[in-house]
Amino acid sequence: MAHTEERTFVAIKPDAVIRGLTSTIIKRFEDKGYKIIGLKMLMVSPEQAAKHYEEHYGKPFYDRLIRYISSGPIVAMVLQGYNVIKGVRQLMGATDPAEAQVGTIRADFAQLKEYNSVHGSDSAESAEREISIYFNPEELCTEWKNMTELVTEKEDFI
């Protein structure tokens, strides 16, 4: 059976960018073999923040979450790979760094669930939605597709 690569949206949140952890966190994803097909640093606008976290609107932590994600630059990425949505969530660890497995990004680099250093989409639907909030289609490097086809043809590469 042929395997199909997925895409997911990842953000290095302001607390981690400010502490100089951008390269360290990107390395976790690259070391796993995921391809970075989109990458940018930006300040999240109020509109982007509201769209991104619309599922949490009205929750006690919502206002603080919106302030946090807009408080400094984020590094937004689209990653592509096999089972990348689930795999990124595993590399990130549980929402609360105190509950996250040692070795995950949140356990290793964060202390509080309110400032947990990284975001990753939780489903294929969320991934598509979140990618479209932060990236235009032409900003994604789709020439990676050629590499994907090559690797898929030559099963011994994977």
d(CA 134, CA 139): 10
Show the binding pattern over residues 88-127: x = contacts Mg ion (CB under 5 A), - = does not: ----------------------------------x-----
- Nearer Cβ to ligand UDP, position 88 or 148? 88
Minimal distance in Å, beta carbon 158 to Mg ion?
29
What interhelical angle do 22-32 and 84-92 show, nearest 10?
Answer: 140
Closest CA to 135 of 90, 58, 76: 76
- Nearer Cβ to ligand UDP, position 37 or 105? 105
95 binds ligand UDP (CB under 6 A): yes
Closest CA to 81 of 73, 90, 72: 90
Minimal distance in Å, beta carbon 18 to Mg ion?
22
Which strand ranges, in their side-by-side order, compose the sheet holding 35-42? Answer: 35-42, 74-81, 6-12, 118-120
Applying the rule CB under 6 A, the residues between 105 and 134 that interact with ligand UDP are 113-114, 116, 119, 122
Minimal distance in Å, beta carbon 117 to ligand UDP?
9
Closest CA to 141 of 3, 4, 2, 7: 7
Let me know if 119 is a catalytic residue.
Answer: yes
Is the C-alpha dihedral spanning 29, 38, 134, 82 positive or negative?
A: negative
Contact 127, 111 (CB under 8 A): no
Show the binding pattern over residues 55-94: x = contacts ligand UDP (CB under 6 A), - = does not: -x----x---x-----------------------------
Instruction: Please list the active-site residues.
Output: 119
Q: Which residues make up the interface to ligand UDP (CB under 6 A)?
A: 56, 61, 65, 95, 113-114, 116, 119, 122
Q: Which residues make up the interface to Mg ion (CB under 5 A)?
A: 122
